Homo-oligomer: A and B are copies of this chain.
Amino acid sequence: MQNIRTDLAVEAHELSKREAKNATEIEGVISSVEEKNGISITRVEITNENGSRELGKAIGKYTTIDAPNLKYSLEIYEKVCKIIAEEIQEMADIKSDMTTLVVGLGNRDITPDALGTGVISRLMVTRHIKARMNEMVDDSISGVCAIAPGVLGTTGIETADIIQAVTERIKPQLIIAVDALAAADIERVSTTIQISDTGIQPGSGVGNNREGLNEKTIGVKVIAIGMPTVIDAATISKVKIPEELSPLMVTTKDIDLVIERASKTVANGINLALHKNMTLHDIDCCIG
């Protein structure tokens, strides 16, 4: 495939079609666009190996929510929270007696990589409360627990190893993994949320080849939620960036604010999905 790095299936699809030039569809890829309360939702489904190879992404469903004004509008924020919740509920059958493990990926010390850890800190975590006094917890509250496993460079342990170890121990019925992504198109940075049922490929955005986390490797459905926060410097650069300087990143000046608002949006989308009778208002009161 093309040399442009993107974690978004919707971009990979566009790039593949552009490369094919004849503008026909790629075999093994179905896509559609829906408008929901003024928010545009694009669904890309990769149905076979050909589609997977062409797009460089795993077989499965990828939903893309376009929310260019997420940072500035409370109204859009609330709509996007609800859409995230509905998409999660469509991909997994959420029941109040199940346990979900939410995994916040990424390095909290690099701002544009801190989406996963930011989401973790805004979750309504309930597993320990249900374990001790389930009778006091409303029926609509399911069991939620959360970890931020860190990154290989600072833990010395493959992230997948930590997640698998904890999964075996606490036996969740669902994993939701949240991570910051890389996009090819500048306009997607901080404005697009992707939800997929294909699990995650740690470091997949940077050509890294480590073992993925998905239903096949871990025995539990893994929903991945991400937002592009950087574009790869190599993608936009007109000059060859030397290897030893490659740790450049291209991001937005307001990235701290973006990460804060996006963390809250994704966290509350997950909270709404997993605690069915709660409203955003209830959640804000609980979490403070």
Determine if A128 is an interface residue (Cβ-Cβ < 8 Å): yes
CA of A74 to CA of B146 in the docked complex: distance in angstroms? 25
CB pair B145–A155 under 8 Å, yes or no, is: yes
Chain B residue contacts of A161, Cβ below 8 A: 166, 169-170
Chain B residue contacts of A157, Cβ below 8 A: 127-128, 145, 147, 166, 170
Supposing A238-B237, A250-B250, A253-B110 touch, asked if A284 and B156 sit within 8 A by C-beta, the answer is no
Determine if A254 is an interface residue (Cβ-Cβ < 8 Å): yes
Selected from B121, B162, B165, B239, the residue in CB contact (under 8 A) with A236 is B239
Q: Which of A152-180 contact B (CB under 8 A)?
A: 152-158, 161-162, 164-166, 168-170
Q: Which of A182-212 contact B (CB under 8 A)?
A: 186-187, 189
Of all chain B residues, which has the CB nearest A127?
Answer: B156
Determine if A247 is an interface residue (Cβ-Cβ < 8 Å): yes
Chain B residue contacts of A241, Cβ below 8 A: 186
CB pair B156–A144 under 8 Å, yes or no, is: yes
Determine if A285 is an interface residue (Cβ-Cβ < 8 Å): yes
CB pair B110–A256 under 8 Å, yes or no, is: yes
Chain B residue contacts of A252, Cβ below 8 A: 245, 247-249
CA of A72 to CA of B282 in the docked complex: distance in angstroms? 10
- 25 of the cross-chain contacts (CB-CB < 8 Å) are A75-B285, A109-B256, A110-B256, A111-B256, A120-B154, A125-B153, A125-B155, A128-B158, A145-B157, A147-B149, A147-B157, A165-B166, A165-B168, A165-B170, A186-B242, A186-B245, A186-B248, A236-B239, A237-B237, A245-B252, A247-B253, A248-B252, A249-B250, A249-B253, A251-B251
New A-B pairs, 11, CB < 8 Å, besides A74-B285, A166-B166: A71-B288, A75-B285, A125-B153, A128-B158, A144-B156, A145-B156, A146-B154, A165-B165, A165-B169, A187-B245, A247-B254
